Amino acid sequence: MLPVSDFKIRKRNSFNLIGRVRVKFLIIATLLVSSVFFAQLVFANALATDGIKLVQIQEEINKLEEENINMRTEIYQDSSLNSLNKKANQYGFENSSFITSF
């Protein structure tokens, strides 16, 4: 018959050294993977949202630039000498050569 104490000691050693380390490792690894996965999700989401924002900002810039160009074109046309000359004639202004000065 084998001594009872020998059997007990062997069993206790096996459970503490291998089993407890494995469980801790698994818990830490799971936490690590989960946090990495979660962080990736957060960053990916942020990047995706930034992409949309970037497109929106770019569209807004383009729109403003277009309006700016159109308004500038209108200002140039209205303030050109040709246009002012036509308007002056319409409003009855006369060429300086027809005016006698004393």
Token pair 């409003």: residue: 91
Q: Is 79 in the site for another protein (CB under 8 A)?
A: yes
In the window 34-53, what residues touch another protein (CB under 8 A)?
Answer: 47-48, 50-52
Which of 34, 35, 40, 70 contacts another protein by CB under 8 A? 70
Q: How many Å separate Cα 68 from the centre of its chain?
A: 25
First to last CA, the chain: 146
**Does the protein bind another protein through residue 4 (CB under 8 A)?**
no
Give CA–CA dist 40/61, Å, rounded: 31
**Chain residues in the site for another protein (CB under 8 A):** 47-48, 50-52, 54-55, 66, 69-70, 72-73, 76-77, 79-82, 85, 96-97
